[in-house]
Amino acid sequence: MRDDVAAADSAGAGTAVGEAEQVRWLDTDQQWAWRRFLEGTSRFFEALGDAHEDDIQVSLGEYHLLVQLSEAPDWTLRMSALADFLALSRSRLTHTVARMEKRGLVTRRPAPGDRRGVHCVMTDAGYAVLVAAAPAHVTAVRRLLVDVLDADELTTLGRAMAKVAHAARTGA
Which stretches of the chain bind DNA, using CB under 7 A? Answer: 46, 49, 53, 59, 61, 78-80, 83, 88-99, 108, 111, 113-118
Are 77 and 111 spatial neighbours (Cβ–Cβ below 8 Å)? no
We find the least distance from the C-beta atom of residue 107 to a copy of itself, in angstroms, to be 17
Nearer to a copy of itself, 75 or 119 (CB): 75
Nearer to DNA, 12 or 40 (CB): 40
Compute the CA torsion angle 132, 133, 134, 136 (nearest 10 deg).
110
Where are the strands (E) in the chain, listed by range? Answer: 76-78, 106-110, 118-122
d(CA 88, CA 106): 17
Taking CB under 8 A as the rule, does residue 104 contact a copy of itself? no
Are 80 and 117 spatial neighbours (Cβ–Cβ below 8 Å)? yes
Out of a copy of itself, DNA, none, what residue 121 binds, judged by CB under 5 to 8 A for its kind, is: none
Q: Using CB under 8 A as the criterion, what x/- string covers residues 109-148 for binding a copy of itself?
A: ------------------x--xxxxxx-xxx-xxxxxx-x
Q: Would residue 147 be called left, alpha or beta, if left means φ above 0 and alpha means ψ between -120 and 50 degrees? A: alpha
We find the least distance from the C-beta atom of residue 79 to DNA, in angstroms, to be 4
